C-alpha cells in the first residue's frame, strides 16, 4: 500500500512538474545534440553522411539516419564504446570520451528521451 501511494504521488508530481521538467530536459538534450552535431561534423562526416539521404563519402560507412534506425540509444552507446576500444570492422578505432559519446547519441537519436 505504501508503495502504491508512492507511485501515485510520483505520478502526480510528474504531471504537475511536467512542463518545466520537460523544458529543462529539452534544453539539456538540445545542448547535447548540438555538441554532437559539431563532433559529428568534425570527426565523422569525412566518411559518414550525418544528415539527409545522400550516400556516405565512404560508401561502406552507414549514413547516420540509417544508424538511428538500426540501433537503440543503448545499442548505439555500446557500439561507440566498441569503436572507442577496437573500431568497427572497416572503421578505424576512434577515441571518444563519455561526454562525446552521449553528445553523439543525443545528436543521432534526438527524438528519444535522455538515457
Cα dist from 18 to 10, 93, 110, whole Å: 11, 41, 19
| Shortest distance (Å) from residue 30 CB to ligand HEC | 19
Contacts of 63 (CB under 8 A, 6+ apart): 48, 49, 50, 53, 54, 55, 56
| Shortest distance (Å) from residue 49 CB to ligand HEC | 11
Nearer to ligand HEC, 8 or 58 (CB): 58
| Shortest distance (Å) from residue 79 CB to ligand HEC | 5
| Shortest distance (Å) from residue 23 CB to ligand HEC | 28
Nearer to ligand HEC, 97 or 111 (CB): 97
Contacts of 70 (CB under 8 A, 6+ apart): 62
Nearer to ligand HEC, 29 or 68 (CB): 68
- Cβ contact 109:76 at 8 Å: yes
The Cα–Cα gap between 58 and 48 comes to 7
Nearer to ligand HEC, 73 or 88 (CB): 88
Binding site for ligand HEC (CB under 6 A): 43-44, 46-48, 58, 60-62, 67, 70, 79, 83, 88-92, 94, 104
Q: Quick one: cell of 59?
A: 560508401
Amino acid at each position: 500500500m505504501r508503495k502504491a501511494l508512492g507511485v501515485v504521488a510520483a505520478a502526480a508530481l510528474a504531471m504537475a512538474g511536467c512542463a518545466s521538467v520537460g523544458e529543462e530536459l529539452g534544453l539539456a538534450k538540445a545542448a547535447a545534440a548540438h555538441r554532437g552535431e559539431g563532433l559529428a561534423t568534425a570527426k565523422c562526416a569525412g566518411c559518414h553522411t550525418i544528415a539527409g539521404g545522400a550516400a556516405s563519402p565512404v560508401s561502406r560507412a552507414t549514413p547516420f539516419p540509417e544508424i538511428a534506425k538500426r540501433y537503440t540509444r543503448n545499442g548505439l552507446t555500446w557500439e561507440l564504446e566498441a569503436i572507442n576500444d577496437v573500431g568497427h570492422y572497416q572503421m578505424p578505432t576512434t577515441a571518444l570520451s563519455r561526454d562525446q559519446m552521449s553528445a553523439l547519441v543525443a545528436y543521432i537519436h534526438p527524438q528519444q528521451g535522455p538515457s
